[in-house]
Amino acid sequence: MPDFSRYLIDRTLIMLSNREPYEHRFVEGVAGDRAIEVRQPPGGVVSALDPTMQATHGVWVAWGSGSADQRSADAEGRLRVPPQTSAYTLRRVFLEPADVDGFYLGFANSSLWPLCHLLVQHFEYRDEYWERYQSVNAKFANVVVDEVRRAEKKPIVWIQDYHFGLAAAMIRDAGEPLFVHQFWHIPFPPADILRLLPVGVDEALLRGLLGNDLIEFHTERYALNFLGCVAEFIPDAEIDSETFVVRYEGREIEVGVFPISIDVERYERLAAAPVNTALAERLRVRYAKNYCRLGVGVDRVDYTKGIPERLRALRVLWEQHPEMRERFTFLLVATPSRSEISAYRDLEEEMVRGVLEINAQFRTRTWTPIVLIHENVSAELLAGVYRAADLCLVSSLQDGMNLVAKEFVACQVEERGVLVLSRFTGAAEEIDGAVLINPFNLEGFVEGIRRAVNMSDGERKVRMHRMRTQLRARTIFDWLAAILLRTEEIIAERARKTGAA
């Protein structure tokens, strides 16, 4: 991994995210007593940012969600991490159950999440959600300001995602001289969708985000949507759509496009490891013998991922094209997610019922059409699954980027697989070589699967080689370097203009 500390010389990086980089949990000991274990939550962003924080000795502010988190921190929620090296400070913020219900499950994931993904049928707004979102954003902002004041070097604050849409302005209102930027990891909706929020709430969210000096999105489309919303709802802001700059309250806010990626070398190593070489071979012997193709889909159980649409397409494939029976097996890896929200519980039930019905309709003595793995699966195990597959189906109805597509490509070390990719993912705007499908167009979706199953080995190799070459040129470390470099450039430009950083 590159050393990013050169971008932060004489700076203290203060990270704010909902997810923490390390959590402490109580586990049952061998003698029936409770022990404490340390766990690093899965996710590419955490795995990329944690080494950066270690190299720069910054501060990471996050929700302390682990069962033993409070026991493991001091009275202010501070501790040094990682446990082995104590390289930087983790500052945990502890939330009451009502905060989690209103801020996280409520406004963030029942209001903002469906709006940003354009799935308005799942949108739910309550005043209590918005009130909790405001109060929790203020709570985190106050903690960040405290860490800003503790910082030995000039601070830079980097906010992650949609959970903290108000935090930047709150931090700036504290009056401390600092640079604040934010990466918005999900799509940003157009103005006609954002206006489904009550009058005043849409404006408050945008003004909160305009507290940043730089706002980062995956794609130009999301950046343009944001600029369009500012133009629509913030009359005192001036938009320069050519330079992607907003002039507001005497400041310039830059809007940037930085598509996220994965640690490509890590996934290639995992896929090539002996244990996954053996796993891939076992999966192919079991599911891809006698010229049968093995497909895979890997998702959180989330209504944005198009899982019911995928199951409908598979049912029609086997109904209308009986030659595909016993020639194509689909492995569905579905990770449980947000089961506290009724829409997610309903989706989970629909998915399980759909798999059972399809298998009952088409199963033969020697073949089961869909194999469902409905549990958390480690990245190490997934790498072997990706390597074994002949095709990967990504059917998102809307997706900020979709890293499953990139993980699959990275793990295709034998360059045999075909990526069948929804055009409504950010990845579709980056990846050249996938079979693009529209999950709302059932006939087209079915034909995309048929095309992938029937594709010649030569075309498969050409397409996959092209995608792997592209992916190696744009890793998560390139994403991180581009953002850190741009913050350094903006700070330097302002210093030249004003004489101060």
Cα separation, 113 vs 324, in Å, equals 37
Cα separation, 130 vs 127, in Å, equals 5
Cα separation, 466 vs 472, in Å, equals 10
The amino acid sitting at 211 is G
Task: Classify the phi-psi angles of 54: left when phi > 0, otherwise alpha if psi is within -120 to 50, otherwise beta.
Answer: alpha
- pLDDT value at 283 more than 60: yes
Of 320, 329, 465, which is closest to residue 390 (Cα–Cα)?
329
Of 89, 94, 133, 92, which is closest to residue 111 (Cα–Cα)?
133
Q: Where are the extended beta strands (E) located within 49-123?
A: 59-63, 78-81, 88-93
- pLDDT value at 370 more than 90: yes
CB 62 within 8 A of CB 24: no
pLDDT of residue 48: 75
- pLDDT value at 411 more than 80: yes
Mean pLDDT of 494-501: 76
Report the chain's mean pLDDT, rounded to a whole number.
94
- pLDDT value at 30 more than 70: no
In this prediction, residue 223 has a pLDDT band, given cuts at 50, 70 and 90, of: very high
pLDDT of residue 500: 58
pLDDT of residue 47: 74
Q: Apex CA 436: angle with CA 435 and CA 441, to 5°? A: 125
In this structure, the number of other CB atoms found within 10 A of the CB of residue 294 comes to 22
In this prediction, residue 127 has a pLDDT band, given cuts at 50, 70 and 90, of: very high
CB 183 within 8 A of CB 150: no
Among 84-93, 294-303, 333-342, 420-429, the range scoring the smallest mean pLDDT is 333-342
What is the strand order of the sheet 435-437 is part of?
370-373, 328-335, 293-300, 391-394, 418-422, 435-437
In this prediction, residue 242 has a pLDDT band, given cuts at 50, 70 and 90, of: very high
pLDDT of residue 167: 98
Cα separation, 416 vs 463, in Å, equals 9
Q: What is the CA radius of gyration of the chain?
A: 23
Residue 173, CA distances (Å) to 88, 138, 141, 207 in order:
26, 11, 10, 12
- pLDDT value at 31 more than 70: no
Of 215, 213, 221, 158, which is closest to residue 189 (Cα–Cα)?
221
pLDDT of residue 176: 87
Among 82-86, 249-253, 432-436, the range scoring the smallest mean pLDDT is 82-86
CB under 8 Å to 458, separation ≥6 — which residues? Answer: none
Mean pLDDT of 365-382: 92
Cα separation, 155 vs 319, in Å, equals 60
Residue 123, CA distances (Å) to 108, 209, 241, 390, 402 in order:
11, 21, 29, 37, 22
- pLDDT value at 497 more than 80: yes
Letter string b/e over residues 404-420, b meaning 16 or more CB atoms within 10 A of that residue's CB: bbbbbbbbbbebbbbbb
Cα separation, 123 vs 406, in Å, equals 29
Q: Are strands 88-93 and 214-217 parallel, antiparallel or unpaired?
A: unpaired
Architecture of domain 265-473 in CATH?
3-Layer(aba) Sandwich (3.40)
- pLDDT value at 501 more than 60: no
Rounding to the nearest 10 degrees, give the CA dihedral for residues 468, 474, 477, 478.
Answer: 160
CB 424 within 8 A of CB 379: no
The structure tokens listed for 267 are 């996934």
Mean pLDDT of 5-12: 87
pTM of the model: 0.95
The structure tokens listed for 48 are 């990329």
- pLDDT value at 32 more than 70: no
